[in-house]
Amino acid sequence: MKQTPSDALVVFGATGDLAHKMIFPALYAMVKRGELKVPVIGVAFPNWSLERVHRRVTDSIKRAGGINDKRALRDLLSRLSYVSGDYKDPATFASLKKALGKSRRPAHYLAIPPSLFGTVIERLGAAGLAENARVIVEKPFGRDLASARELNKVARAVFPEDSIFRIDHFLGKEAIMNILYFRFANSFLEPIWNRNYVASVQITLAENFGVKGRGAFYETAGCLRDVIENHLFQIVALLAMEPPAGRDFGAVHTEKAKVFQAMRPLKRDDVVRGQYDGYRREPDVAKHSDVETYCALRLFIDSWRWQGVPWFLRSGKFLPENFTEVLVELKAPPQKLFADSSPVNGRANYVRFQLSPGCDVALAARVKRAGKDFIGSQRELLLCEELIGEETPYQRLLGDAMAGDGALFTREDAVEAAWAVVDTVLKKHHRAIPYKRKTWGPKQADAMIAAFGGWHNPSIKK
């Protein structure tokens, strides 16, 4: 069903870091493409003049890549107005209502601390600003199962579910979208994409830097909440889901939710937590902090397709490389006809998705070498996609939300089902194990996956 587009965009937190780094550069790109033709109202606490807000937006765009279209910048600034006020004060929302003027279908984007989500949503409802409107909620959507349920309850009391857009910028990446397309646009994959042929799946999101001055945030989150429960779980859902009945976002959401519901709840021994040396000396970090900057886990999906197949997920800071990759390892041939046909170094045939820094899909297969002997080597058949002209995740997701297209967002039942998988280990877990910077984390994480060929640690060519 065709949705009616929003006729205004309200950005709560307009003077904040997220707006400066991501949102305003995305809006500038949307103006350049002719995709943004509605008023933009910034809302924040600082009592800034509109001129100062304009300077902030201009600086944002300069830092993000420069201004190469002055007409587009003037267009964006001409659409921008600003409301200053406390999010808890009804007068702020009365001022917002006045600033919206004739707009009747606004999209409210909450680029604010999660502790304020519920307050702003309730105030929007009380001010009559939720009718025919949409709300875009930045992650994290809750910090555990109980808080996610409470936030869903608050949001659903004000907005219908199809007007709530829970944003995870990771889902807006071209390479992530390619997983869904590659799986269901090709017929050769389906016969082997199950427990009969897949030995294991591993997903890595590695970062070669630390918390970058965000110690206060990381103390409230940790790697499991910040990366694995949302970003990596979303990748798992795209890899593990059944074919949807259609391409409408409702059908896709239904199949993704089923994956989360089939995930076996994690236990303490399924998770290895690590903390890089020096984390406790970062600004705003507790002296004896047990927050994990690295997390590896073993996951099972109790469904007909995936029963018994282990999924290994890991992410961490100050690892040797900066990349995100999936390795779907296939089972070895059932009969050893050739001396070298068993897995080399524990690695059988596999399908590999590199999601960053590049966008590659590779199929590894053994090929015979020239000569009389039946000896070969494993080679990758590589499909490489150049992402020239790719939209940024925020550009795509903001455009989709304002158009009412929820395909790349997360539904209420999926949010709660994902939190249910990790809820126990958020409260009861082993202590974080120290690891040296620029290593692949604690050795205990290697032991977890040793029987399945170990972690795939690619060296990214500079």
**Residue with more model confidence, 174 or 212:** 212
CB 441 within 8 A of CB 296: yes
Q: Which fold has domain 171-452?
A: Dihydrodipicolinate Reductase; domain 2 (3.30.360)
pLDDT digits (tens, 9 = 90+) for 308-334: 999 999 999 999 999 999 999 999 887
In this predicted structure, the answer to whether residue 460 has a pLDDT above a threshold of 60 is no
Of 457, 218, 389, the C-alpha closest to 317 is 218
Half-sphere exposure of 87 (CA within 13 A, CB side): 20
Percent of the chain exceeding pLDDT 70 equals 95
- Residue 174 pLDDT level (bands cut at 50, 70, 90): confident
- 433 vs 124, 221, 294, 376, 444, CA distance in Å? 44, 17, 9, 41, 9
Residue 159 DSSP SS3: coil
Residue 136 DSSP SS3: strand
pLDDT digits (tens, 9 = 90+) for 388-433: 556 788 898 999 999 998 888 889 999 999 999 999 999 999 999 9
Of 201, 206, 199, the C-alpha closest to 457 is 206
Q: Give the pLDDT score at 79.
A: 97
CATH of domain 8-138: 3.40.50.720
Q: Give the pLDDT score at 408.
A: 84
Helix (H) or strand (E) holding 381: strand 376-384
Show me where the domains of the chain are located.
8-138, 171-452
- d(CA 185, CA 201) in angstroms, rounded, equals 21
- 315 vs 10, 157, 297, 390, 449, CA distance in Å? 34, 35, 9, 25, 14
Q: Is the dihedral of CA 24, 28, 29, 33 positive or negative?
A: positive
- d(CA 301, CA 262) in angstroms, rounded, equals 5
pLDDT digits (tens, 9 = 90+) for 178-196: 888 899 999 999 999 999 9
Give the predicted TM-score (pTM) of the model: 0.91
pLDDT digits (tens, 9 = 90+) for 245-256: 876 778 888 999
- d(CA 75, CA 54) in angstroms, rounded, equals 12
pLDDT digits (tens, 9 = 90+) for 79-95: 999 999 999 999 999 99
Strand order in the sheet with 134-138: 80-84, 40-44, 8-12, 106-110, 134-138, 164-167
- d(CA 174, CA 54) in angstroms, rounded, equals 30
Which are the catalytic amino acids? 231
- Residue 213 pLDDT level (bands cut at 50, 70, 90): confident
- 359 vs 126, 252, 277, 352, CA distance in Å? 45, 22, 32, 11
- Residue 285 pLDDT level (bands cut at 50, 70, 90): very high
- 233, two tokens: 């779980």
Q: Given the DSSP bridges, would you call strands 40-44 and 80-84 parallel, antiparallel or unpaired? A: parallel
Rounded to 10°, the helix 117-126/90-100 angle is 60
Q: Give the pLDDT score at 103.
A: 95
Mapping DSSP onto H, E and C, the string for 331-359 reads CCCCCCCCCCCCCECCECCEEEEEEECCC
Residue 385 DSSP SS3: coil
User: How many helices and strands (H and E) does the chain possess?
Assistant: 15, 15
In degrees, rounded to 5, the angle at the alpha carbon of residue 433 between the alpha carbons of residues 284 and 146 is: 65
